[in-house]
Structure 1
Amino acid sequence: MKYTVDIPLERDGLWLDSNLTYTQVPGWLGKTTRDLKLSVIRHFAKAGSKRFPVIFWFAGGGWMDTDHNIYLPNLVDFARRGFIVVGVEYRDSNKVSFPGQLEDAKSAIRYVRANADKFQANPKKFIAMGESAGGHLASMLGVTNGQKKFDVGNNLNVSSDIQAAIPWYGVVDPLTAKQGSTSNDFDFVYRNLLGAEPESAPQLDQQANPLTYINQQTVPFLILHGDQDVVVPFKDSERLYQKLIDNQIPADLYQIKNAGHMDLKFLQPAVFKIIEKFLARVL
């Protein structure tokens, strides 16, 4: 059979820039140099013709291991809905203690902002989103706008500020996360992150706690957390939400019924619609 069809142009095409170097950091025992990478899902739209909001994605892994590309097949849904999606590599706790991870995240944001024309990015609509340890990073980015002490590395002439934060079952206070978990299997990750046990290093714990930094520069938050999470206590997300509300910061908390840690429920269209609705309101 021969067919002639007229196909309407209903959506933009997408490009993938994979594993771009956004900064260089000390490598093996501080004696070498290593690249940090990010991958960008961007649009066919001609450069300069349109600007898109940017979702920076930070995968979890207990700060022990991470893969900045692993979630991108799922997050392409956001690109189809008019976002740029950036998967960001950050150093694990075998390579650097906190705040090295936050410094990396802010460096990635500055890199994309400095190259906004290349990526068709709207530098006034940057969103940090991540899960578990990456959710902790998203929260830290949301509460540290203007905190120049965390800006280290390249592109220091541009801002690392973001406009919204979306932590998925993100760690809040390392101490209460360790104490409140119903499993002891992951207690070691907090020692590795801080360089000391959180019980014996309250200053280090406070430094890595988003609750420490909430002020009037804090961005709107959408917090997603499963009520069956045995790794990161749901009550910690409730504490974060309540402190945001107490400080008149726009915030929503969604308790996902019967969802555990890294649950498939978080990747469902219903959750993505919640995220899109929130961003349409706060951006």
Structure 2
Amino acid sequence: MIYVLKDLCNTIAEVYGKSILKGVFIMKHTLKVDQVRDGLWLDSDITYTQVPGWLGNTTRDLKLSVIRHFQTNDDTRYPVIFWFAGGGWMDTDHNVHLPNLVDFARHGYIVVGVEYRDSNKVQFPGQLEDAKAAIRYMRANAKRFQADPNRFIVMGESAGGHMASMLGVTNGLNQFDKGANLDYSSDVQVAVPFYGVVDPLTAKTGSASNDFDFVYRNLLGAEPENAPELDSAANPLTYVNSNSTPFLIFHGTEDVVVPIKDSEKLYDALVENNVPAELYEIEGASHMDVKFLQPQVFKIVMDFLDKYLTRS
């Protein structure tokens, strides 16, 4: 009976092109694989600048993480997306969204998650100064990362969306350039804020919730209604002009933290100044909703970038 079963198994193996070793099917394949995408590296927590630390008495590093492509050893250059995480300027993590943003890297972008100081360490415009330092660092090191210095995109959510907007409207304003690599520009080519804060005052007074009112006082060092000059300095609407970079704005219709009307005001101001702009109001989306991370939204972003980025 044992020999009959062994012969039967061997017959089956011969029919199906499989070998048997100690009762286990061994399957051997030859596979031709098409190379349809790049390999990616992650450079995590690179120091891009140093700033005052504990009570101004020490020095601390600011970090960024880079998802980049395998080296091609030629003149290939990739556009760069700078991502600024939210957190009410109170707590940020520059790595937190990198898993979601790999989609952009797979489509030919370099993705940079940027750490910036929270409002417990510095008040505005310290955060904007940090962001511009990160952009200058990447421009100074463009060859190392195969980055295209003429195709820099800024993107962020909530407080990070405010950062993206401020960067998009302050090209050429040298007062926010502090620190290292000052021989390089901090200008950007496209801004993509997701449910970003615009005017701190109207964000506070227009919010459906007062749970986060304190974040604007912490950012400015005063209540925005009591400090109009500080509020104006931190308001992207103050700086919008015909030289502002193209904007793609996203906001959820059910956002109770940052009023959607503020994104509409930003869009209107851009259009009035003949700045290319598009606004997408995501039906039913709340603040920091997973709907913003869906392929449908990312495709809109990439189509917009294809339209307004000039390839070097």
Which residue of structure 2 lines up, in the alignment, with residue 172 of structure 1?
A: 198
Counterparts of 1:259-278 in structure 2, within 5 Å, are 259-278=285-304
Confirm or deny: 8 A CA contact 1:48 1:117 kept in the other structure: no
Normalising by structure 2, we get a TM-score of 0.90
Answering whether residue 170 of structure 2 is matched by residue 144 of structure 1, we say yes
Q: How far apart are the structure 2 equivalents of 1:215 and 1:233? A: 23
Counterparts of 1:147-166 in structure 2, within 5 Å, are 147-166=173-192
Unaligned runs of 5+ residues in structure 2 are 1-26
Partner deviation per Cα, 1:183-240 (whole Å, 9 max, x = no partner): 0100000000000000000000000000000112200000000000000000000000
Deviation at residue 47 of structure 1 after TM alignment: 4.0
Which residue of structure 1 lines up, in the alignment, with residue 68 of structure 2?
A: 42
Q: Which amino acid aligns with 1:178?
A: K
Which residue of structure 1 lines up, in the alignment, with residue 133 of structure 2?
A: 107
Which residue of the other structure, out of 111, 118, 126, is the alignment partner of 2:152? Answer: 126
Deviation at residue 7 of structure 1 after TM alignment: 1.1
Q: How far apart are the structure 2 equivalents of 1:233 and 1:47? A: 47
Which residue of structure 2 lines up, in the alignment, with residue 200 of structure 1?
A: 226
Which residue of the other structure, out of 92, 105, 108, is the alignment partner of 1:66? Answer: 92
Q: How far apart are the structure 1 equivalents of 2:38 and 2:75? A: 13
Q: Which amino acid aligns with 1:72?
A: L
- After superposing the two structures, state which structure 1 stretch, 48-57 or 154-163, moved more: 48-57
Answering whether residue 109 of structure 2 is matched by residue 83 of structure 1, we say yes
Which residue of the other structure, out of 34, 43, 50, is the alignment partner of 1:8? Answer: 34
Answering whether residue 115 of structure 2 is matched by residue 117 of structure 1, we say no
Which residue of structure 2 lines up, in the alignment, with residue 234 of structure 1?
A: 260
Structure 1 runs, 4 residues or longer, greater than 3 Å off: none
Partner deviation per Cα, 1:1-39 (whole Å, 9 max, x = no partner): 111111111111000000000000000000000000000
Aligned-pair RMSD on alpha carbons? 0.6
Partner deviation per Cα, 1:136-161 (whole Å, 9 max, x = no partner): 00000000000000000000000000
Unaligned runs of 5+ residues in structure 1 are none
Q: Secondary structure of 1:199's match?
A: helix
Q: Secondary structure of 2:149's match?
A: strand
Deviation at residue 49 of structure 1 after TM alignment: 3.1
Which residue of the other structure, out of 81, 86, 91, is the alignment partner of 1:55? Answer: 81
Q: How far apart are the structure 1 equivalents of 2:43 and 2:287? A: 30
Partner deviation per Cα, 1:45-82 (whole Å, 9 max, x = no partner): 32443100000000000000000000000000000000
Identity among equivalent pairs (%) = 73
Deviation at residue 267 of structure 1 after TM alignment: 0.3
Confirm or deny: 8 A CA contact 1:47 1:117 kept in the other structure: no
Which residue of structure 2 lines up, in the alignment, with residue 20 of structure 1?
A: 46
- After superposing the two structures, state which structure 1 stretch, 196-205 or 4-13, moved more: 4-13
Q: Which amino acid aligns with 1:176?
A: T
Q: How far apart are the structure 2 equivalents of 1:143 and 1:99? A: 14
Normalising by structure 1, we get a TM-score of 0.99
The size of the alignment, in residue pairs, is 283
Which residue of structure 1 lines up, in the alignment, with residue 242 of structure 2?
A: 216
Partner deviation per Cα, 1:60-107 (whole Å, 9 max, x = no partner): 000000000000000000000000000000000000000000000000
Which residue of structure 1 lines up, in the alignment, with residue 17 of structure 2?
A: none
